[in-house]
Amino acid sequence: MARKKIAYLGPPGTFTEEATLKYDEKAQLLPFLSISAVVAAVDTGIAEEGVVPIENSLEGSVTETLDLLIHDSGLLIRQELVLPIEHHLLTKPDVEAPEVNVIFSHPQALAQCRRFLERCFPKAQAVAALSTAAAVEQMMSSSTPAAAIGTQRAAVLHGARILARDIQDRSPNVTRFVVLAPQDHTATNRDKTSICFSFDDDHPGLLCSVLEVFAQQNINLAKIESRPSKEGLGRYIFLVDLEGHRQDQLISQVLDRVRTRTSMLKVLGSYPRHEEKA
């Protein structure tokens, strides 16, 4: 029996790989170097599913993932995964802390470790990489003394030394990942639905008129935020996570009502909501 193919934000050694292995350790994992490439791999059938980051507890939403879901892809969220994030500072085995003048990592990781870097490496240049694993590769091939913010697995894969552990500014630091697929998940009675919507015009009470639809039916909203519509200043698309499955009778009726009050409504998927273990 052929193994399921899952695309993920690689290369091997990223937090996304760790989340993907947690989701399905028996699948054939296909690493891609950007979130857009992961989405394209699933869109075109190279992979059956794709795993990408969507939100971090310290830095907020991953805007590239949101924008792809809103504007550029018909894929749906099939599952959400939550992973504790532990950032480590990696170097070549023979490099000491005072020598480091360049630090590589993904922009999200650099932001999540900002205070540590400012305190311990105030003169080092921060250089953005496509992923934390790619940052370790760049560090290991650098001709100048460098460090990288990466994972313990990346250190093992590339023969790097962990110079400092758990350097994130705050703990717990967790990232939410989503599994993208052509179809979302069937109802489980403990679901979440993600939607986005926008308005053609702009006048007081527009957003309130939508939110009151949920409030009237006692539907809990887990998250609400906005993204630029890319159609001009002051034009936004609103994103909402709500409790319930899009095929539930109540949720379906509420979404129909919301559709009449907006110019655009897109369901991004229904899926089992993550529940913290005691």
Helix (H, G, I), strand (E, B) or coil at 96: coil
Q: How far apart are CA 156 and CA 151, in angstroms?
A: 9
The yes-or-no answer on residue 188 being catalytic is: no
Strand (E) or helix (H) holding 41 = helix 35-43
Q: How far apart are CA 105 and CA 161, in angstroms?
A: 16
Strand (E) or helix (H) holding 60 = strand 60-61
Tell me which amino acid residue 247 is: Q
Contacts of 41 by beta carbon, 8 Å cutoff, 6+ apart = 7, 30, 32, 47, 50
Among candidate residues 15, 32, 104, 177, the one labeled active-site is: 177
Among candidate residues 151, 175, 193, 262, the one labeled active-site is: 175
The yes-or-no answer on residue 238 being catalytic is: no
The sign one gets for the Cα dihedral 216, 221, 225, 228 is negative
Q: How far apart are CA 30 and CA 215, in angstroms?
A: 42
Return the residue matching tokens 């794709």: 50
Helices 206-216/249-260 angle, 10° precision: 160
Scored b (16 or more CB within 10 A) or e, 236-256 reads: bbbbbbbbbbbebeebeebbe
Q: How far apart are CA 114 and CA 87, in angstroms?
A: 12
* Token pair of 215 as six digits: 């409030």
CB atoms within 10 A of CB 78: 20
Helix (H, G, I), strand (E, B) or coil at 229: coil
Residues serving a catalytic function are 175, 177
